[in-house]
Chain A
Amino acid sequence: MQPAELSAVDIVAAVRQGDLSAVQCAETFLSRIEAGNGSINAFLNVDREGAVACAAKIDARRRAGQPIGPLAGLPVAVKDVLCTANLPTTCASKMLEHFQPPYDADTVSRLRQADAIIVGKTNMDEFAMGGSNENSAFGPVRNPWDLSRAPGGSSGGSAACVAADMAPVAIGSDTGGSIRQPAGLCGITGLKPTYGRVSRRGLIAFASSLDQIGPMARSAADCALVLETIAGHDPGDSTSLVASVPRYTELLEQPLTGVRIGRVPDHFAEGLDPEVAKGVEEAFAVLKAAGATVLDIRMPHAKYGVPTYYLIAPCEASSNLARYDGAHYGRRCEETAARKGSRASNGAIAYDSPLVEMYCRSRGEGFGPEVKRRIMLGTYALSAGYYDAYYAKAMKVRRLIRQDYLDAFEHVDLIGGPVSATPAFKLGEKTGDPLAMYLVDLYTVAANLAGIGGISFPCGFTKSGLPIGFQLQAPALGEPLLLRASDRFQRLTDWHLRRPKKSVR
């Protein structure tokens, strides 16, 4: 049996039945990581020892007839934005290069409780800010379908490691599309659940009212399996939903007959790559063939999504990232300079104490350019005299965007469309133009603003062999239908089973 080609559902079943040992499974994926990570750079930290030890324990327990958890033996890669008590957690930032959290994120605890095997921490855009993974302080991730291209971001490492069979599933986080967009560009399936469905405790915050953790895997069925474990109320997160967790894997069977899927004609306006447009339209056709009805709908405020997002997210981020000041943890600048207390200055403004100089220098050195840009933007937009024009305005438009969804879901059960306007772009293609990079979030930010769930999965390939992603969005807590529709699509197509040829196998 070749574990690297098994689905997560199959791996868990095989381990449970004793057809596959957890150690053998872990070793297979660890070897693939060791072979492939050099070229792809999907992992920042691989825990071979911990993973094998954990797998051995599971095997021993199974052999002894003791109970094993629902994900027993399943290797999972975790985005390095989630705190792990046994592994450094860096957020792909020099600021946290040596940071060791004293606790596990809720998601990590749940995975461990379920006997999943955490194989390592994946690369990402620094503090999850970016759409290409080029903002990692530890080098970009490469797209396994074409190593000269970006995997998308910010969960680029998580998407790439699944696409390259270095892990059957990975955990990502999505603030404006950071699960769905890289999943789309890497040809895998990625689910951003409803806001609050998965606890944010231990997720290093980017924008607290938008952040959500979710599974990334080859198929919707595998995402369903992982979501069953990581979803659920956490009394340690005030914004975690109290709703019970359905058995997602058992809700996949029902056909799509009668399900109404909205199609937004504006999505197909100028700017959408024709090959992507074609793939997306074909996906609608498949869903129709599966019994769904497709209805055209309007989302009148869609075009305001990106500007709204690029006010709200930076404002929250400017505050969330204030804690990285070199005082209690994280990077501190070389102190001798600061301690001399010279009349050093920052843009012609003199530092008025060695402490302030330490703050500014530590943050100036520790953060990369995109993080600084967003901190600056958010600080500016919240500052005296600008709050109403920017932050308050954005909160109002946020309500209009959410209202668009509420209105639309009066008529349809799901909304479908592209994930990204283009397939994976070249590394370096957009790095000189922050605004161009912001527009890669065009189709994904609105779900975060509204707090609803969305999923993306492959619906075809370009002539040059790059995956094309399809996105579905559902009303709050509509994960069962999102997963069911995606699973139905994947029963009728095989795009999700394709594997990159050249990269690492």
Chain B
Amino acid sequence: MTLSRQDVAKVGMLAKLALSDAELDTMTSELSKIVGFVSLLDELDTTSVEPLAHPLDTQNVFRDDVPAPSLSTAEALQSAPRHDGQYFLVPAVLGESGAA
């Protein structure tokens, strides 16, 4: 299993990771090797096996709809790289917002 440099660049954009040319090269060869290694799993026939996403069998964990204290705005913004005392500030978005 090998990944192309272009594949890796696309994954880099998806992961929002800036990769230098040198990093792109190493990443391409390392990821290919690792993907080759994990492909060891292909030798197992798992057609009739149910996926296991989580080790717990727990179900139905809820909390009651009871308000708890929020942080102050100052606390909320205390680690923000940039803010105006009310809002987090980020570079221009130029796009559309909202839960999709």
Residues of B within 8 A of A (CB): 3, 5-21, 23-24, 27, 30-31, 33-35, 37-42, 44, 46, 49-56, 58, 61, 63, 71, 75-76, 78-82, 88, 90-95
Contacts and interface: CB of A to CB of B under 8 A. Distances in A.
A196 B58 contact: yes
A36 interface: no
Interface in A373-429: 373, 375-377, 379-380, 383, 390, 392-400, 402
A318 B58 CA distance: 25
Given A349-B9, A355-B90, A364 B18 contact: yes
B15 to A, nearest CB: 4
B26 to A, nearest CB: 8
A405 to B, nearest CB: 10
A393 B95 CA distance: 35
B31 A373 contact: yes
A376 B55 contact: no
Given A330-B81, A332-B82, A347 B5 contact: yes
Given A326-B81, A380-B31, A360 B17 contact: yes
Contacts of A452: 55
Given A349-B10, A367-B17, A449-B55, A434 B91 contact: no
A248 interface: no
A364 B37 CA distance: 25
Contacts of B91: 335, 338-339, 353-355, 357-358
A363 B18 CA distance: 7
A105 to B, nearest CB: 16
Interface in A272-324: 301, 303-304, 307-308, 310-311, 318, 322
A: interface residue count bin: 35 or more
A353 B15 contact: no
A363 B46 contact: no
Contact of A311 (B38, B49, B63, B93): B38
Contacts of A209: 53-55
A29 interface: no
B92 A304 contact: no
Given A346-B18, A435-B33, A328 B8 contact: no
A240 to B, nearest CB: 9
A450 interface: yes
Nearest to A235: B63
Chain A interface SS verdict (over half): helix
A382 B98 CA distance: 23
A360 B18 contact: yes
Contacts of B50: 396, 399
Nearest to A341: B92
Given A330-B81, A376-B27, A347 B92 contact: no
A332 B80 CA distance: 9
Given A102-B71, A326-B81, A332-B81, A310 B38 contact: yes
Contacts of A402: 52, 55
Nearest to B19: A347
20 contacts: A99-B79, A100-B78, A239-B61, A307-B40, A308-B38, A327-B90, A328-B79, A329-B81, A347-B5, A352-B94, A353-B95, A354-B94, A360-B18, A364-B18, A377-B31, A383-B11, A395-B53, A396-B52, A397-B41, A435-B34
A450 B55 CA distance: 6
A307 B78 CA distance: 40
B27 A372 contact: yes
A206 interface: no
Interface in A194-242: 195-196, 209, 235, 238-239, 241-242
A359 interface: yes
B71 to A, nearest CB: 6
B32 to A, nearest CB: 11
B56 A396 contact: no
Nearest to B30: A434
Contacts of A242: 58
A183 to B, nearest CB: 22
B15 A376 contact: yes
Contact of A196 (B6, B19, B56, B93): B56
Given A328-B88, A392-B51, A400-B49, A435 B37 contact: yes
B53 A356 contact: no
A400 B46 CA distance: 9
Contact of B49 (A307, A339, A379, A399): A399
B49 A330 contact: no
B53 A397 contact: no
